[in-house]
Chain A
């Protein structure tokens, strides 16, 4: 379950920001997580519960923006919404595409106090 590592990295980023701000805790945290980022939502919830205990994120509200997948077809050059990496281009059915968005794994903002 790599979601645990992901949450531990978020905790680390949050600890560092709280330390730099001379604050005590995180009140809210905003995350961007792409639909194609390889994250299982239920695993993330489970890992979150386990990994934020006794950390600055323990009482934080978590706001997750799920960034939709977008790709550009390398055959017909059209852009399309992509739900999975193996999806074909809806215009020409080709599988040669470049991912434009949906692989984000980012901490966007924190409110600390």
Chain B
């Protein structure tokens, strides 16, 4: 138990480690004492002499942004990515919408055209990182434990571990959740929200923050459209109510239909990193 914040450390600890194809289960754990919000706080102040006389009250006017620390770290990540001409994408969706499937196909199809590096976020397992490692792309797993989203400090540590080359495309698969990741800037170049046609077309209205903060909306599993009551135009109209800047791409990570449009979007984004 950490006496400063009261977190129960092993249960809440974040683990970040590289997942290699050949040594899938022996990768070293670099376990950081992490407070879910990227806080590596020091404990040195426990030893400091306190000069304050008890009973004396002081009012401190602060006006401090609660997300300020995360936003600052996110901007540092963004600066690092920009300096290295890296395009970094934060992929967010409900569990099962097809984030990993989309990455698997993309990494397979474009591996000779773009240097891919992947950060996988998951509460407990390495399953997705193993699927990515099987494509040959370097991948770092972040296990958030009880944490329901990635934050900028986790990305800072994972990026160090990943060590992407200049002009890389870095994919960050966030924890499957349409609520919590919305508030946490990671320093990405763009946020991509994925919804599959087996979900409700009112999702943008139910999770407005996520759709509001994303630049691209991918509508996945369109191979299943004949079998489900999903109205593509309605989901777009709903998303436009929440954000007027979102672009849409309809595709199937399973059959490959529509993937070309996604690849063109990626290439366009990658070209932006040279400006």
Q: Are B62 and A17 in contact (CB under 8 A)?
A: yes
Mask of A44-60 contacts with B, CB within 8 angstroms, 1/0: 00000001111100000
Task: Provide the bound-state CA to CA distance between A84 and B243, in Å.
Answer: 12
Chain B residues with a Cβ closer than 8 Å to the other chain, count? 52
Interface of A is mostly: mixed
Q: How far is it, in angstroms, between the C-alpha of A21 and the C-alpha of B231 when the chains are bound?
A: 58
In chain B, positions 39-64 with a C-beta closer than 8 Å to chain A are 39, 41, 45, 48, 50-52, 54-64
**Which residue of B6, B39, B149 is within 8 Å of A54 (Cβ)?**
B6
Interface residues as binary, A1-17 with B (CB distance below 8 Å gives 1, 0 otherwise): 11011101111110101
Which residues in A have their C-beta under 8 angstroms from that of B51?
22
CA distance A112 to B57 in the complex (A): 6
Assess whether A22 is in contact with B50, with CB atoms less than 8 Å apart: yes
Task: Report A-chain residues with C-beta under 8 Å of the C-beta of B70.
Answer: 9
Taking a contact as CB atoms under 8 Å apart, the answer to whether B6 and A51 are in contact is: yes
Residues of A with C-beta under 8 A to B240: 95
- With both beta carbons as reference points, the residue of chain B lying nearest to A53 in the complex is identified as B6
How many whole Å from A76's CB to the nearest CB in chain B? 15
18 residue pairs bridging A and B, Cβ less than 8 Å apart:
A2-B148, A5-B149, A8-B5, A9-B37, A11-B5, A24-B54, A38-B179, A38-B183, A55-B4, A55-B5, A85-B212, A95-B241, A95-B244, A109-B60, A109-B61, A111-B57, A113-B52, A113-B55
